[in-house]
Structure 1
Amino acid sequence: MKIVIGAAAGNIGSRIAKKVGSENHSVILLGNKLNALKNLKIHNSSSYEVDMSNAEQVVAHTKGADAFFWLVPPVLGVSSLKEWYDRIIAAGVAAIKENKISRVVAISSLGAGASDNLGTVTYVGNLEKAFKEVASNVVFLRPGYFMENFLLQKNDILENGYFSFPYAADHDIPFVSADDIGDLAAEYLMDAHWAGQWTRNVMGPSNITLKKAAEIFSKELQQEIVYKQITYDDIKNQFAQFGANDTVQKELIDLYNALGDPNGAYATPRTLEAHTPTSLVDFIRNKFI
């Protein structure tokens, strides 16, 4: 089976590539840095540096694909996230339509399409709508909050004893590992027997609060780790320092508001199929210790 993986050097894409490559499929790796793709050393793979927002390039490198994985890579230095998502979505749509790709797996989000003011959660809802129009067989994985976000604060956690988000300390969050998302995506990509258009929530083993997360970090690292709630102004300043313009800052604040709403996306009821195995304890032991 020929399987094309977009953003293959990322947390999810690289996990998929390793899983798919280990099963002797023909693997096509797409991303914006050729060296990062080649450094994955995936068996039976070909790597191509592409602009994922360029429909012509994406179409060219997905010819003959039996299965196709797609997501919108995170960026800050664009005029707007809406425009960025629209371009990535359009490139994916063109590839699926022109190359008649049999099966598609795409990353969405809990709460996708629920409202027009949820930042990127709204935009992945647009991805779902667009892909449904061209893909007969498509699975949208809707994950909760990535545990990998803690890695962005690894130095503060290990050296300064705290981590911070703009959410209330008692906000219940479905933390999920990118490894589990990648494993699930790989299963769908390698399975030629499913059909139809599906959404599947991916929510980790259980919801936990940030207060509880701090307790888990403290126990596993054997040092006191505390949670510090920061303001949305703090968040805006951080993103401004990383080059995000006013539009992108607002879109990200809309996202944080959506994810921090106690009655919002993360209030999604759990079902059996939403469960994934990696706990926060597992994640800390694998990535911090």
Structure 2
Amino acid sequence: MKIAIGAAAGNVGSRIAKKVASAGHSVILLGNKLDALKNLNIPNSSSHEVDMSNMEQVVAHTKGADALFWLVPPALGVTSLKAWYNDIIAAGVAAIKENNIPRVVAISSLGAGASDNLGTVTYVGTMERAFKEVASNVVFLRPGYFMENFLLQKNDILEKGYFSFPYATDHDIPFISADDIGDIATEYLIDKHWAGQWTRNIMGPRNINLKEAADIFSEELQQEVVYKQVTYGDIKNQFADFGANDIVQKELVDLYRALGDPNGAYATPRTHDAHTPTTLADVIRNKFISK
């Protein structure tokens, strides 16, 4: 099989690329930096520098694909996240339709499209609806909060002994590793025997609150790590410091509010197939301590 992978140099995409290649399939690697794709050293692969929001480029480089992995990579320097998502969704739709790609796996989110004003949680709902119009066989993986996002606060955790979110200390979150997301996506991509349009929640081993997360960091790092609650205004200012404009700042605050709602996306009930094995302790040992 030939499998096309969008954002192939990212945490999830690179995991999929390695797994797919190791299973003996050929891989089309798509991403915005050719060097990063080539540095993955994936056997039996072709690398293409592609703007994933560019319909013509995406269609051209997914010809002949037996399956497509698609997600919207994070971006702060865009005019709006809604426009960014819409462009990448449209490019994916065009590739699926024009190249008659038989199977598609896409990364969505818990609570996808539940209502307006949820930031990117709303926008991935738009993706689900759009892909269903053109893909007969499509799986939308709906993960919780990526454990690897803690790496964005690695210096604060290791040097200052804290991490921060705008959530109550007892707000429990379905933390999930990008590795598990990649592994599940790979299973669908290399399996020719499933059919239809599916959604699957994937939520890590169990929900944990932020006090529990701090305790896990403290134990694994052998130093005190505490949780520091900040305001949504603080979050907005952080993204402003990273170069996001006012529109993107609001969209990201909307996302954080959605994820912090005790009756919102992260209140999704667990089912058996939502379980994934990698724990936060595993991620700390493998990605904080060993690197």
Give the TM-score of the pair, scaled to structure 1: 0.99
Aligned residue pairs total 289
Q: Work out the CA distance in 2 between the residues paired with 1:39 and 1:24.
A: 19
Per the alignment, residue 267 of structure 1 pairs with: 267
Counterpart of 1:151 in structure 2: which amino acid?
Answer: L
User: 2: CA distance between counterparts of 1:118 and 1:280?
Assistant: 26
Q: Give the Cα–Cα distance (whole angstroms) in 2 for the partners of residues 168 and 286 of structure 1.
A: 28
Q: Distance in 2 between matches of 1:17 and 1:265?
A: 29
Q: 1-side partners of 2:49 and 2:79: how far apart?
A: 23
Equivalent position amino acid for 1:63 in 2: K
Q: Matched residue of 1:270: which SS?
A: coil
Counterpart check, 1:128 vs 2:157: no
Q: Deviations over 1:74-112 (max 9, x none)?
A: 001111000000000000000000000000000000000
What CA distance in whole angstroms lies between the structure 2 residues aligned with 1:230 and 1:178? 25
Kindly state the Cα deviation for residue 285 of structure 1 after the two structures are TM-superposed. Answer: 1.0
Distance 1:288 1:250 in 2: 30
The CA distance in 1 between the partners of 2:216 and 2:79, in whole Å, is 39
Structure 1 unaligned spans of 5+: none
Decide whether the 8 Å contact of 1:4 with 1:65 is kept in 2.
yes
Q: 1:138 and 2:138 equivalent?
A: yes
1:185 maps to what in 2?
185
Root-mean-square deviation (CA, aligned residues, Å) is 0.5
SS in 2 for 1:53: coil
Q: AA paired with 2:38?
A: K
Partner of 2:194: 194
AA paired with 1:90? A
| Residue identity opposite 2:100 in structure 1 | K
Question: Which residue of 2 is the match for residue 169 of structure 1?
Answer: 169
2:245 alignment partner in structure 1: 245
Contact 1:175–1:208 under 8 Å retained in 2: yes
Instruction: Map Cα deviations across residues 175-194 of structure 1 (whole Å, 9 max, x no partner).
Output: 00000000100110000000
- Indicate yes or no: 2:87 matched with 1:87: yes
Residue in structure 1 matched with residue 111 of structure 2 by the alignment: 111
User: Does 1:151 find its partner at 2:151?
Assistant: yes
In the aligned structure 2, how far is the partner of 1:220 from the partner of 1:26? 38
Q: Distance in 2 between matches of 1:192 and 1:98?
A: 20
- 1:30 aligned residue: 30
Aligned partners of 1:139 and 1:198 also within 8 Å: yes
Q: Tell whether 2:54 aligns with 1:54.
A: yes
How many angstroms apart in 1 are the aligned matches of 2:56 and 2:215? 49
One-letter code aligned to 1:229: Q
Instruction: Please give the alpha-carbon distance, in whole angstroms, between the structure 1 residues aligned to 2:288 and 2:56.
Output: 41
Amino acid at match of 2:213: A
In structure 1, what is the Cα distance between the partners aligned to 2:139 and 2:204? 18
User: Offset at 1:242?
Assistant: 1.0
**Matched letter for residue 165 of structure 2:** F
Answering whether residue 67 of structure 2 is matched by residue 67 of structure 1, we say yes
Where does residue 220 of structure 1 map in the other structure? 220
Higher mean C-alpha displacement, 135-144 vs 212-221: 212-221
The percent of aligned pairs where both chains have the same amino acid is 84
Q: Which amino acid aligns with 1:59?
A: V
Residue 167 of structure 1, CA deviation:
1.1
Aligned to 1:43: 43
For the residue of structure 2 that corresponds to 1:84, the secondary structure is helix
Secondary structure at 1:29 match in 2:
strand
Deviation at 1:253, TM superposition (A): 0.5
TM superposition score normalised by structure 2: 0.99
Within 2, Cα distance between the matches of 1:45 and 1:264?
40
Separation in 2 of the partners of 1:103 and 1:220? 40
What is the rounded CA distance, in whole Å, between the counterparts of 2:163 and 2:238 in structure 1? 14
**What's 2:78 paired with?**
78
Q: CA deviation at 1:20?
A: 0.3
Contact 1:24–1:43, Cα closer than 8 Å, also in 2: no
Partner of 1:231: 231
User: Could you tell me which amino acid in structure 1 is paired with residue 141 of structure 2?
Assistant: L
**What runs of 5+ residues in structure 2 fail to find an aligned partner?**
none
Aligned-pair CA distance for 1:238 = 0.7
> What is the deviation of 1:223?
0.7
Question: Per-residue deviation at 1:283?
Answer: 1.0
CA distance in 1, matches of 2:156, 2:247: 28
Structure 1 segments of 4+ aligned residues over 3 angstroms from their partners: none
Counterpart CA distance in 1 for 2:168 and 2:286 is 27
More deviation in 277-286 or 138-147? 277-286
